[in-house]
Structure 1
């Protein structure tokens, strides 16, 4: 389960994320500039939904324990060049 809570507005937006499974939980702090949110979603999805989709993308590629404890959403494409192309499928309702 991925729980995303926006903890600060402004620039950047700040989120607290908890990822839980049967083995336990990890906690993460994620920032995202409003401009990055616009670039990633064209305003079609909330910032929290965008962060949740990014975590689902990351969890398909690495265990929760390997996801950085603190990061900005703008760094994800540096680690995963296919992130921008794949994100829309993680944002789309299933």
Structure 2
């Protein structure tokens, strides 16, 4: 399993911004992820911090695709656009 390192880097509007580093097999990728208050409530179901949601989201993504296929920069809600089971998995995770 890849290691996931999450660092809060700023706030833009109502979104928390995180730098996510994924390391596996001697190589790594960097990602900039935005978590709005609305997305945190929607996907964290009122039971997760923004950082917990980012970690669970990357664990989900890494089960779907290699780290190199994950977008370099995205809003956390965009995951549901590409993977229609994302919301259900997050509900199961945080309910």
State if a TM-score over 0.5 links the two structures: yes
DSSP 3-state at the match of 2:64: coil
Structure number with the higher strand fraction is 2
Partner of 1:8: 10
Q: Which runs of 5+ in 2 are unaligned?
A: none
Question: Please, what TM-score do these two structures have when normalized by structure 1?
Answer: 0.89
Q: Which runs of 5+ in 1 are unaligned?
A: none
The Cα shift of 1:89 comes to: 4.0
- Residue 27 (structure 2) pairs with residue 24 (structure 1): yes
1:25-75 CA-to-partner distances (Å, cap 9, x unmatched) read 000000111111011113311100100100000000000000000011111
RMSD: 1.5
Distance in 1 between residues matched to 2:87 and 2:68, nearest whole Å: 23
Say how many residue pairs are matched: 92
The Cα shift of 1:88 comes to: 3.4
Question: Please, what TM-score do these two structures have when normalized by structure 2?
Answer: 0.88
Tell me which stretches of 4 or more aligned residues in structure 1 moved more than 2 Å.
88-92
